[in-house]
Amino acid sequence: MKDAAQFRWASKYPELGTGPISVEPCVSPAYFESEREKVFKRTWLKVGRVEEIPNAGDYKVKRIAVAGTSVIMIRTKEGAVRAFHNVCSHRGNTVVTETGEETFGSSRAAVLTCRFHGWVYDAQGALISVPEEERFYSCFVKADNGLTPIHVDVWEGFIFINLAPRPEQNLKDYLGGYGDHFAGFPYGALDYCFTYYTYLDCNWKIAHDAFAEAYHVPTIHAGSFPNAFTTGLQNVELYGPHRTTAICLTLGAAATPVATLANKRARGSLVAKAGSNMLPPTINPDRREDFAFELSVTFPNFLLHVAEGIWFTHQFWPISHNKTLWEGKYYLAAPKTYSERWALEHAQVLQRNAWLEDTATMEATQSAMESGTKHYIHLQDEEILIRHGYHILDRYMAAE
């Protein structure tokens, strides 16, 4: 065996160590209860995009099971985004009636009205109308009974919330160098988004880890992406709790007949070679010819990837220690013609299939880990992002 110093990433980031990783964070219900408080109620969580609520009065409600609440994001008349718990001050009903994990709506007057007794709140959260207000006792003060706010901020069009009463950092400081690294990509212009989701019977980190390396590509993606990507990472950078790397093409894979036709009609496939015209200088800084996409993790649960003409995300929402809501989103430029739309259909169907390959191992990994047979997992040098993830998680879990 070689020394850590002989490995690219272990020598660049010696503080991460090289030892095996405990399985406890993935299988322990008690560990998960602690993660709720120490990670998910303290960090900034991506909950939406500004394009989802473009106009004053547009709102989105998203369930955040890990924090036991639902968040309303609403666009104010002034154009800002505000966030509140979806709980009425009157009898505790949900203000917006939810129809699933995400509920969308729009109010021309930019107000939210509780269906139960008609209490009305404005987009700043203020309680502005109470039917039969004169029948409430003097201890009820309207001005004190607005919606309960949640800290919210926007970076590059991504809406983040922080459920702490007083966040330790603002969003800009929380993202730090990661925010600079990913600024300037045309996220908002590539807004034609295909969304897939499912519930996985596994810990959120098992899902996260399965996507956070390229070592699995020759085996897991032998079907959908044969000989397409190299397993080694390039340009790994760690930014506080966040992490990023470049994934590269082998440039040896020949496109199949229908893929060739699709690639001629529109840019939609990660395995089709492309330039770096839209990429900010921080991404693929050497303008490598074999650059495919940047793979990154915004701690704790958001994976952001960017490529020329394509960006995509994964998010892992914990429900319990062994149940996770996974959301995969694939963003492209809106097609201008039917043939372009057809080409995008081909590209995103293949991407969906690749995600079906990625998700195939997760539940089996969870049940095998829960058997108690193995107490540790082993990570090689090109799995450095996973190692960094557990390293950061340890730090959050050890904090007061």
Partner 1 sequence: MTNHMLPPGFEDIEPFAADWALDTQDERYVKRRNSSAEEIRSFYDAMLRHIEKILDEVDRFPIGTLPESHRPLYAMALSLAEIAPHVELYRGNPLVPYSFEEGRMRSWHGDQPTWQGKRPSP
Strands (E) located in 86-157: 102-106, 111-113, 120-122, 127-129, 149-155
Selected from 6, 99, 148, 337, the binder of partner 1 by CB under 8 A is 337
Q: Residue 303 or residue 347: which is nearer to partner 1 going by CB?
A: 347
213 vs 247: CA distance, rounded Å: 9
Positive or negative, the CA dihedral 159, 164, 169, 175 is negative
Q: Residue 111 or residue 261: which is nearer to partner 1 going by CB?
A: 261
Selected from 199, 287, 289, 394, the binder of partner 1 by CB under 8 A is 199
Using CB under 8 A as the binding rule, the residues of this chain from 62 to 81 that contact partner 1 are none
Selected from 89, 162, 203, 224, the binder of partner 1 by CB under 8 A is 224
Q: Does 341 bind partner 1 (CB under 8 A)?
A: yes
String of contacts with partner 1 for each residue 96-125, x by CB under 8 A? ------x-x---------------------
**Contact stretch for partner 1 (CB under 8 A) within 128-136, 259-267, 287-295, 367-375:** 259-267
Q: Residue 21 or residue 343: which is nearer to partner 1 going by CB?
A: 343
297 vs 259: CA distance, rounded Å: 29
Q: Does 52 bind partner 1 (CB under 8 A)?
A: yes
Beta-strand pair 69-75/21-22: unpaired
Using CB under 8 A as the binding rule, the residues of this chain from 310 to 329 that contact partner 1 are 329
Three-class SS state of 317? strand
Selected from 7, 192, 215, 396, the binder of partner 1 by CB under 8 A is 192
CA torsion angle 317 62 81 303 (round to 10): 20
State the DSSP code for 67. G
Three-class SS state of 15? helix
In sequence order, what are the residues at sequence separation of 6 or more whose Cβ sits closer than 8 angstroms to the Cβ of residue 102?
Answer: 60, 61, 62, 63
Q: Does 367 bind partner 1 (CB under 8 A)?
A: no
State the DSSP code for 216. T
State the nearest-atom distance from the C-beta of 187 to partner 1, in Å.
14
Three-class SS state of 308? coil
Return the H-helix or E-strand segment holding 323.
strand 323-332
Q: Residue 183 or residue 258: which is nearer to partner 1 going by CB?
A: 258
**Contact stretch for partner 1 (CB under 8 A) within 114-122, 157-165, 187-195, 302-310:** 187-195
Selected from 126, 154, 193, 397, the binder of partner 1 by CB under 8 A is 193
HEC readout, 347-376: HHHHHHHHHHHHHHHHHHHHHHHHCCCCCE
**Contact stretch for partner 1 (CB under 8 A) within 164-172, 223-231, 289-297, 385-393:** 223-231
Q: Residue 323 or residue 341: which is nearer to partner 1 going by CB?
A: 341
Selected from 8, 265, 273, 323, the binder of partner 1 by CB under 8 A is 265
**Contact stretch for partner 1 (CB under 8 A) within 252-260, 300-308, 368-376, 384-392:** 252-260
**Contact stretch for partner 1 (CB under 8 A) within 88-96, 148-156, 172-180, 336-344:** 336-344
Burial of 138 (0-12, 13-18, 19+ CB in 10 A): exposed
Selected from 262, 272, 274, 307, the binder of partner 1 by CB under 8 A is 262
Three-class SS state of 155? strand
Query: Among 168, 74, 199, which residue's Cα sits nearest to residue 124?
Result: 74
Point out which residues bind partner 1 (CB under 8 A).
Answer: 52, 60, 102, 104, 192-199, 220, 223-224, 226, 256-259, 261-262, 265, 329, 334-339, 341-342, 345-346, 349-350, 352-353, 355-360, 362
